[in-house]
Structure 1
């Protein structure tokens, strides 16, 4: 696969996350609680992933690998719980800005754990992304943002756990087939979600059936696709560039809010969306050249044979 394919795969993984906040808001307005929405998403998503695994070639994983991947799923589950919790007391726009702080946290992780100092381009890219995110979320253009300390803390915790998940999805279980790895990550996430939000609603058939349409959509775009796409792409692009690419979620979230929820999106917010896409492009230019040279080195022996 060419290097830009991996870049595109991670970018699409971010886009999937952008779809979620709209459906979460729709589920809340239909009267479902954070417990039902979060639990339903991870339950249906994990079941769908394991069903897909059944149709793939069987590959064994060691107990050690399986445990590592289950544990790596914990920040994945926590991100959903923390983010949806913040959506209860904050505007969707502000909640996503807080989650968006994962962009620089990911680069910080790369610096701390891999001793990879961020390049000048990466720092410029992050600054553009953060400015774009403030504009896109409408913090400047829309007065009267309702702030709550709890919401603020939940949102920042979601950013921290999301960065951790992106970091781990690129570094843990690299030899495990993507779909199986994704299923184990989702299972780890489901366990932590059920511990945080006891699934009492599972015994109420009418609630389970009512929340099912939302759960299926959230499960597919929030649990099945992102870990699978990140599992394929992250090991090739690295957590620093990976978190920049995942910033694609905010333009998608703003567009969805406009198209589906009918939210008015001002010109300033659209300018923010354009800035974010520009920031992602800046982050990729230098990285793409580096990825291509690595790819060329890997391909060269095959040309001689």
Structure 2
């Protein structure tokens, strides 16, 4: 039992680290190989989706069962387009407009949008820890975006807009497929979401007309994004949840934006000021506040969630 929990801690941390690697490798490809987010996201989603589904086919699972009923087909298409594809595209567009660390921290505001949605949908008053979380993330975004000067933006409008859009679409990613994930394997639903979403983006953006990869370093970075940042990260994180529970796994995997910041600074020579780190700390503390919320309140929300298709707790790993 003790060894299982230790592995759960390790898997959760490694899952967050893999997500961080994905974002930083994306920044590397944008900066040094002139790839576009349209090309990167289309190829990443298709490759990762195929790998996840093939792994399940090898294990003997019927991955095509999600296409048997009309409601399932409708849900998987909505999830693929408005959850997976738009979420990934907006996240990497934010990375391209700024850097992996900033985009990841802005993406970590997604639980706030989910809180707002569930409060409105369930017609209840927000809990104190939810109000605190909204305040913390608002302060954090203000600090990161303006550096305390209300008359100007320190980061570009594109980065802020794409980052917030990635947070909103991650809310769709978290809420919309709940019924499907209760019926089918989570990774099967994710695999189809990636594959279908990637094909949709492929048809919209036609990345074959853009710059393509033509050196070994770029291929390695792309491989890390597909294998480590998608397939391995989700597998590790879910194993972590299985061994230590969603709350602790979520808290430990929140190392993602911290690792993204360190890698951006060390590998890509990205510089951050003290005020940036302060804003990052406010945003990161939101996840800690939600993870440390009173258990009885979370438990009561979980029961209501089952009848309203509402996730009781969300994880904000976009990369």
Instruction: Judge same fold: TM > 0.5, yes or no.
Output: yes
Q: CA deviation at 1:188?
A: 2.4
Matches within 5 A, 1:43-62: 43-59=46-62, 61-62=65-66
Q: 1:48 to 1:18 in 2, by over 3 A?
A: same
CA distance in 2, matches of 1:289, 1:57: 39
Could you tell me which residue of structure 2 aligns to residue 113 of structure 1? 121
Structure 1 residue 164 corresponds to structure 2 residue 166: no
Contact 2:109 2:137 in 1 (8 A): no
Could you tell me which residue of structure 2 aligns to residue 104 of structure 1? 112
CA distances 1:26-81 after superposition (whole Å, capped 9, x unpaired): 10123232133222322321232123213323246252235522431222111222
Structure 1 residue 189 corresponds to structure 2 residue 192: no
Structure 1 residue 147 corresponds to structure 2 residue 156: yes
CA distances 1:220-276 after superposition (whole Å, capped 9, x unpaired): 344325665787869x969xx999998654333222212322323344444444444
Contact 1:129 1:280 in 2 (8 A): no
Aligned length: 288
TM-score relative to the length of structure 2: 0.69
Contact 1:39 1:190 in 2 (8 A): yes
Structure 1 residue 40 corresponds to structure 2 residue 43: yes
Contact 1:166 1:230 in 2 (8 A): no
CA distance in 2, matches of 1:223, 1:197: 21
Q: 1:86 to 1:46 in 2, by over 3 A?
A: same
TM-score relative to the length of structure 1: 0.71
Q: Which runs of 5+ in 2 are unaligned?
A: 303-319
Q: Secondary structure at the match of 2:126?
A: coil
Q: Secondary structure at the match of 1:80?
A: helix
CA distance in 1, matches of 2:109, 2:163: 9
- Residue number among 284, 292, 310 corresponding to 1:285 in the alignment: 292
> Which deviates more, 175-184 or 207-216?
207-216
Could you tell me which residue of structure 2 aligns to residue 257 of structure 1? 264
- Residue number among 66, 83, 100 corresponding to 2:91 in the alignment: 83
